[in-house]
Structure 1
Amino acid sequence: MSDEKPSLSSDVMLRRLRADDAANFKAIRLEALQASPELLGSTFEFDNELDVTWFAGRLEESHVLGAFRAGVLAGTAGFSVQHGPKNAHKGRVWGMYVQSRARRLGIGRLLVSALLDVARARLEIVQLTVVTTNQPARRLYDSLGFVEFGMEPKASKLGDHYYDEAHMMLDFGRKPDAF
């Protein structure tokens, strides 16, 4: 997907977010952290303290797509290439979120599929983690060809509750049944 050609599917437009989208990106991220604090790796309190310029930097250093409905940011998903010569063949999907009122419209699939199109041109492997109780996200990733290669018990802790995370990957050079 080119940065200059937004993707349009029914009433959803996808485009890469840039520094000037930082305020909207921060707002949807804070919404996600309030709505589903167990699903993302940060907390509302921590991200709320970050300046908008921090979010602008994050948008410039990663490939973050936004899904817009009627001009309003309704979902995001990020992708970054791992650092270092031994890891540069891998990328990571992060920060996947679709507002509750925009769910069940295929926006999550559009976002991840578009990220995979970008990754496929540059990488061999894309990885992600997902909280094991997040069944809708797991079904989506399974349907896109991701396979689970491990599980991290107590990967995150919110209050007194622990959350396990499944580690998943999509190897562009292998068939899913090869694992």
Structure 2
Amino acid sequence: MHTTAPTIKLLTPADAALYRPVRLEALAAHPEAFTSTFEREQEKPVAWFEERLAASDVFGAFIAGEIVGTAGFRREDGAKTAHKGVLWGMYVRPQARKCGTGRLLVDAVVAHAAKRVEQLHLVVVRDNLAALRLYTAAGFVEYGRGVKALKHGGRYHDETLMVLFFDGRDATPPR
């Protein structure tokens, strides 16, 4: 674990060569947590990752010049859904966990999203308790579940759907 606080920066297409290995590591280490797969993305050239960084706002956490975590923001593009954004691709390398890196990344995405959308959504695998604690501490609330939402290696994984409203409302459904 590092004692140096991570710095957070918005990645640009020029950072694709740094982003690609951490993204592939995330997919390989936690295949149940992402809708994409290592097998799909490992064959993609750096140019594909450049396009991804151009199309979404991806933040990187850096310690001593090394990228140790990422989290993305994407705004919905439909006319009726442009008020919503998605936090996606959250991953922190093992050596940078339990020292606030995840919270810094989430806070960066939340601050960025708050200027662009009215609500921020995310989906997390139900048994990822550390992530659920992190997102709850950052103000996200559960509003639904995806039962058997992902299937990997013959095993189903349920998802927790979470949202953060920037107008002060919560996601508690009316009775």
Range class of TM-score, shorter chain? over 0.9
Whole-angstrom distance in 2 between the partners of 1:43 and 1:68: 24
Q: Evaluate the alpha carbon distance shift between residue 177 and residue 49 of structure 1 in structure 2; reply closer, same or farther with a 3 A threshold.
A: closer
1:94 and 2:88 aligned? yes
Task: Pick closer, same or farther for the CA change 1:31–1:177 going to 2, 3 Å.
Answer: closer
Q: CA RMSD in A?
A: 1.5
Q: 1:178 offset after TM fit, Å?
A: 5.4
Map of 1:38 onto structure 2:
32
The answer as to 2:93 corresponding to 1:127 is no
Opposite residue 106 of structure 1, the aligned amino acid is G
The structure with higher relative contact order (CA 8 Å, sep 6+) is 2
Alignment match, 2:146: 152
1:17 aligned residue (8, 11, 15): 11
Q: Match of 1:123, SS?
A: coil
* Structure 2 equivalent of residue 111 of structure 1: 105
Shift of 1:85: 1.2
CA contact (8 A) 1:148 1:166 kept: yes
Structure 2 unmatched runs, 5+: none
1:38 partner SS:
helix
Structure 1 stretches of at least 4 aligned residues deviating more than 2 Å after TM superposition: 174-179
Q: Rate the CA distance shift 1:143–1:11 in 2: closer, same or farther, 3 A.
A: closer
Change (3 A) 1:178 1:161: closer
Identity %: 47
Asked whether the equivalents of residues 141 and 171 of structure 2 are also in contact (C-alpha less than 8 Å), the reply is no
Secondary structure of the structure 1 residue equivalent to 2:134: helix
TM-score of the two chains, using structure 1 as the length reference: 0.91
Q: Compute the displacement of 1:52 (Å).
A: 1.1
Shift of 1:121: 1.1
Partner amino acid for 1:71?
Answer: G
Structure 1 unmatched ranges of 5 or more:
1-8
Distance in 2 (CA, whole Å) between partners of 1:152 and 1:28 is 27
* Cα distance, 1:10 vs structure 2: 4.8
Q: What TM-score does the superposition give when structure 2 sets the normalisation length?
A: 0.93
TM-superposed deviation, 1:45 = 0.7
> Separation in 2 of the partners of 1:10 and 1:115?
21
Distance 1:46 1:177, change over 3 A: closer
* Distance across 1 between alignment mates of 2:171 and 2:37: 37
| Separation of aligned partners in 1, 2:33 and 2:89 | 9
